[in-house]
Amino acid sequence: MFGPPVHGQAVSSPVMMIGQAPGTKEIEQCRPFCWTAGKTLFRWFASIGLDEARVRERVLMSAVCRCFPGKNPKGGDRVPDRPEVANCSGWWRTEMTISRPRLIIPVGKLAIAQFADQLPAGARLDGLVGQQWPYRCAGGATADLIPLPHPSGASTWFKMEPGKALLARGLGLIAGHPAWRELLEDR
């Protein structure tokens, strides 16, 4: 893992978003989702009422790992391995415990996998995205989990069916969630 660690602003929010890990541009700018995947992600959120600046101001943005995991020899960024995830997971889990979000948005397979203990066993991405799941956080607080696919430019999952329709359904669930609507009130 390569630093410096990248994290979002410390905001009090009913919504928490958890990504995978920063890329090289995020490390350079010390800002999560600031490059290609971020542009796609913020387009999605703008379509349901919050532009990038407002998401950054109003959503607690975290990640499974806060440091860049390095490049994959086959291209793209390497997915953090189990020991790296284990070493870093305390950060976002503590943020979740302290902030007690009512809506958690895991972005991408690695982030979604962190909640697998309370999701259907063996479920694939197309069985999770576009759905809302109850989640019991540490300390007993409850939240709703609405997974989204990773917005990577290399991914075609959300550009073709059924991913395209599932993404739209997931964004619709987020848009209708009381915690998200609360963020829209002070526009």
Q: Could you give phi then psi for residue 159, rounded to 5 degrees?
A: -100, -15
What is the secondary structure of 13-63 as a DSSP string? -SEEEEES---HHHHHHT-TT-SHHHHHHHHHHHTTT--HHHHHHHSEEEE
Q: For a pLDDT cut of 90, what percent of the chain falls above it?
A: 64
Asked if the model's pLDDT at residue 17 lies above 90, the reply is yes
Q: What CA–CA distance (Å, rounded) separates 101 from 95?
A: 9
What is the per-residue pLDDT for 128?
A: 95
pLDDT value, residue 135: 96
Residue 116: partners with Cβ closer than 8 Å, 6 or more residues away? none
Q: 141-164, pLDDT tens digit by residue?
A: 899 999 999 998 778 889 999 999
Please provide the average confidence, as pLDDT, over all residues in the chain. Answer: 91
pLDDT band (50, 70, 90) for residue 32: confident
| Dihedral in degrees, nearest 10, Cα atoms 149, 151, 155, 159 | 80
Q: What is the CATH number of domain 15-180?
A: 3.40.470.10
Q: What is the mean pLDDT of residues 2-23?
A: 87
**Cβ 14 vs Cβ 101: under 8 Å:** yes
pLDDT digits (tens, 9 = 90+) for 55-111: 999 999 999 998 888 888 988 888 899 999 999 999 999 999 999 999 999 999 999
Any idea how long the chain is?
187
pLDDT at 187: 56
Residue 32: asked if its preceding bond is cis (omega within 30°), the reply is: no
